[in-house]
Structure 1
Amino acid sequence: MKGEVKKVVLAYSGGLDTSIILRWLQDQYGCEVVTFTADLGQGEELEPARQKALLMGIKPENIFIDDLREEFVRDFVFPMFRANALYEGVYLLGTSIARPLISKRQIEIANQVGADAVAHGATGKGNDQVRFELGYYALKPDIKVIAPWRLWDLTSRTRLLDFAEKHQIPIAKDKRGEAPYSTDANLLHISYEGKALEDPWVEPFDDMFTRSVSPEMAPDKPTYVEIEFEKGDAVAIDGERLSPATLLTRLNALGGANGIGRLDLVENRFVGMKSRGVYETPGGSILIVAHRGIESLTLDRGEAHLKDDLMPRYAELIYNGFWFAPERVAIQTMIDKVSENVCGTVRLKLYKGSVSVVGRKSPKSLYRMDYVTFEEDSVYDQRDAQGFIKLNALRMRLAKMARG
């Protein structure tokens, strides 16, 4: 394989797998490696990734560590939440929505440094390989993609550890002295897979969670919070305007303290198998309830129901890696147009794992008390309902008369 690639941009976390990949690329391709580490709010110190890359022979000018938190929330998380996207009805797509941004930045760096290839550490069994590579090809159709998990002979954990020890790559341990759960973290969520979680009958250990207290241990007194929206995006909490990333960080703290956002899910991967994952999405779980709360006041019935019809398709596109596909962009255009009138404030009650809307108001509210009141009114003639009902019943009456 040597000589095939001159320079490759590697999506690099500094962890064991991508450190092994870094060394493997150097050995197999004899190429210059550029490392790219994205700060998406995973809550970890990223400077060790720089130091590890330097120790492995990467030139300082070939190490990119980029703070993408604001772009992540503003340009990826918020547009997705305007659609109320839930994959298979429950999953808030925390891993899925991060991949197109990583792909986008990797291609930007490849163009900047003149790289002819990009590489990632996703396995051949998962969804992320698809998400990364669909993003690469959408943005740079002629890019060469290196996916080591589909190429190398390091097919077991024992072989990986042997490779790491041979090349003096540090091996992290958890507090039990074992390999940690497979996790993915960003400002929207953290996921856990592997170990005992591979058995869908086994309940997750409570000490596994890092972003939320258990609902049982949450405060006995509810927390109230008000979220303000403009054009479908949250812009303020309790009257304080915040940047997108700062706002989501604040909601994460509120949700985590009240035991909100845990999900235990068996999902259908795009590659065809089922997988079991456990997720924590405290701020996102609050945000989606609040967003639907303000939409209930401001969207016309037709708009709202059309959005709900499209949502599963939209969520599936993101889950499967088609963020840059023309159909996702087309749906987004419609969603953004509808969201122009989604503004106002929602009041929520957070209590022991639950989020409840307890108040909502909007300057563009379609809710009219003079129409819905049970008291006497002068704007609605109840006799109009008779003809409305008869016309809607006509096809059923004709069917009964014809078919018996």
Structure 2
Amino acid sequence: MSDIKKVVLAYSGGLDTSVILKWIKKTYNCEVVTLTADLGQEEELDGLEEKALRTGASKAFILDLREEFAADFIFPMLRACAVYEGRYLLGTSIARPLIAKAQVDIARSEGATAIAHGATGKGNDQVRFELTANVLEPRLTVIAPWREWDFRSRTDLINFARQNGIPVPSDKGPSYSMDRNLMHLSFEGQELEDPWNEPGPGSHLLCAPIEKAPDKPEIITIDFEKGDPVAVNGERLSPAALIKTLNTLGGVHGIGRLDMVENRYVGMKSRGVYETPGCTILHAAHRDLEGICMDREVLHMRDQLIPRYAEMVYYGYWFSPERKALQALMDQAQERVTGTVRLKLYKGNVVPLGRKSPLSLYNANLATFEEDEVYNQADATGFIRLAGLRLRGLGR
């Protein structure tokens, strides 16, 4: 402990990290610098700098990382069509390596020898933060208070906060554990801890309930260049602005709700509800465009690698050499994915209506049910005969 003079804390301003800030100062007798990454939390960032300084931070950094988050983290993941366990679009998972990277950058510039986070010893985030620090700056010490202190409940934290002059959130009763960023909003805890319970109305913030979504569908277009979305309804937007625009469009129509029980890296199962309106639209549009742009064997090979790529993101290996190597393959596979998709948004559904591309591999003259002059149907006889050779032998 005596070697730790300055710590960079990933700070959200909530009860946990506010208590952690004060606890580190008291326990380690050191200076604490806070780092808050603006990843699109919106109003959650209001007043955080003042609160951090009032709670004891020597400096409080709030960094606008929204464009970097979208362009360098979300978009590469979308190019890879990453989905964990076939359902989860990894909105929380992909944010952690960027926050940890920013922590390391601040630690270097401020001469800190340690970083700290508020992740619990039960979850995935502790792994994601620390694996990122391991590869980017292995000399840093990592302080994980939830694995060190004697607090065991929210009541313990509230008591400590009151004893140390830390403002305590007004007691509105039990609340969800939530994580919000540009990509999604997650809910855990409360009635969700019983997987049989239906999510309560408080778990609808970004996405309208299906029953309240408009009765009239909305038609939009999305343009892509080499697998990256670049425009909505013909208007070119920055990566962060594009996702935010689609969040609004999708949220109105109740698109992007997911309720699932997933497998955490540490070994337990966890139930969560996710709202990911914009990137749910992007994922559907992107996969649809790939259908006319990607070679069959490249597409099939890439799809076999999606679960492995998604695991790397979920488990916290974003900066690992294997993820970088696999990303190169994913990006190479996207070289032809340029074009436009037209979609219908309606009652929680994203329905592709049409797609076009200057690099399309679709040939209407080959696929037609009408007469053509480019395909000899008799050629299929020999193809099928050879394809069935082993099956005929098995049948005998």
TM-score range, shorter chain: over 0.9
Which residue pairs with 1:118 in the alignment? 115
Amino acid in the other structure paired with 1:49:
L
Q: Deviations over 1:161-182 (max 9, x none)?
A: 11111112112136xx114210
Which of 375, 378, 384 aligns to 1:389? It is 384
Which residue pairs with 1:30 in the alignment? 29
TM-score between both structures, scaled by the size of structure 2? 0.98
Tell me, yes or no, if structure 1 residue 274 matches structure 2 residue 275: no
- TM-superposed CA distance for 1:43, in Å, is 1.8
Which of 337, 349, 367 aligns to 1:372? It is 367
SS in 2 for 1:88: coil
SS in 1 for 2:202: helix
Which of 124, 128, 135 aligns to 1:127? It is 124
- Are the aligned partners of 1:220 and 1:352 in contact in 2 as well (CA < 8 Å)? yes
Tell me, yes or no, if structure 1 residue 355 matches structure 2 residue 350: yes
CA–CA distance in structure 2, aligned partners of residues 53 and 207 of structure 1: 28
- Are the aligned partners of 1:4 and 1:29 in contact in 2 as well (CA < 8 Å)? no
- Are the aligned partners of 2:203 and 2:273 in contact in 1 as well (CA < 8 Å)? no
Amino acid in the other structure paired with 1:11:
A
SS in 2 for 1:350: strand
Which residue pairs with 2:50 in the alignment? 51
Question: In terms of mean alpha carbon deviation, does 86-95 or 158-167 score higher?
Answer: 158-167
TM-score between both structures, scaled by the size of structure 1? 0.96
The Cα RMSD (Å) is: 1.0
Q: Deviations over 1:330-385 (max 9, x none)?
A: 11000101111100000000000000100000000000001111111111111110
- Are the aligned partners of 1:16 and 1:171 in contact in 2 as well (CA < 8 Å)? yes
Which residue pairs with 1:67 in the alignment? 64
Which of 301, 305, 324 aligns to 1:310? It is 305
SS in 2 for 1:305: helix
Which of 210, 215, 220 aligns to 2:215? It is 220
Structure 2 regions of 5+ residues with no counterpart? none
Which residue pairs with 1:85 in the alignment? 82
- Are the aligned partners of 1:173 and 1:180 in contact in 2 as well (CA < 8 Å)? no
CA–CA distance in structure 1, aligned partners of residues 164 and 364 of structure 2: 72
CA–CA distance in structure 2, aligned partners of residues 173 and 198 of structure 1: 23
- TM-superposed CA distance for 1:400, in Å, is 2.8
Q: Deviations over 1:180-199 (max 9, x none)?
A: 21000000000001111111
Which residue pairs with 2:39 in the alignment? 40
Q: Deviations over 1:250-288 (max 9, x none)?
A: 000000000111111100000000001011000011010
Which residue pairs with 2:159 in the alignment? 162
CA–CA distance in structure 2, aligned partners of residues 43 and 196 of structure 1: 26
CA–CA distance in structure 1, aligned partners of residues 229 and 212 of structure 2: 28
Amino acid in the other structure paired with 1:269:
R
- Are the aligned partners of 1:11 and 1:37 in contact in 2 as well (CA < 8 Å)? yes
- TM-superposed CA distance for 1:208, in Å, is 2.7
Once the two structures are aligned, what percentage of the paired residues are identical? 61
SS in 1 for 2:361: coil
- TM-superposed CA distance for 1:45, in Å, is 4.4
Which residue pairs with 1:18 in the alignment? 17
Which residue pairs with 2:102 in the alignment? 105
Which residue pairs with 1:234 in the alignment? 229
- Are the aligned partners of 1:251 and 1:283 in contact in 2 as well (CA < 8 Å)? yes
- Are the aligned partners of 1:184 and 1:190 in contact in 2 as well (CA < 8 Å)? yes
CA–CA distance in structure 2, aligned partners of residues 46 and 86 of structure 1: 29
SS in 2 for 1:171: coil
CA–CA distance in structure 1, aligned partners of residues 159 and 312 of structure 2: 38
Structure 1 regions of 5+ residues with no counterpart? none
- Are the aligned partners of 1:181 and 1:195 in contact in 2 as well (CA < 8 Å)? yes
CA–CA distance in structure 1, aligned partners of residues 314 and 88 of structure 2: 10
Which residue pairs with 2:93 in the alignment? 96
Which residue pairs with 2:201 in the alignment? 206
SS in 2 for 1:44: helix
Amino acid in the other structure paired with 1:363:
P
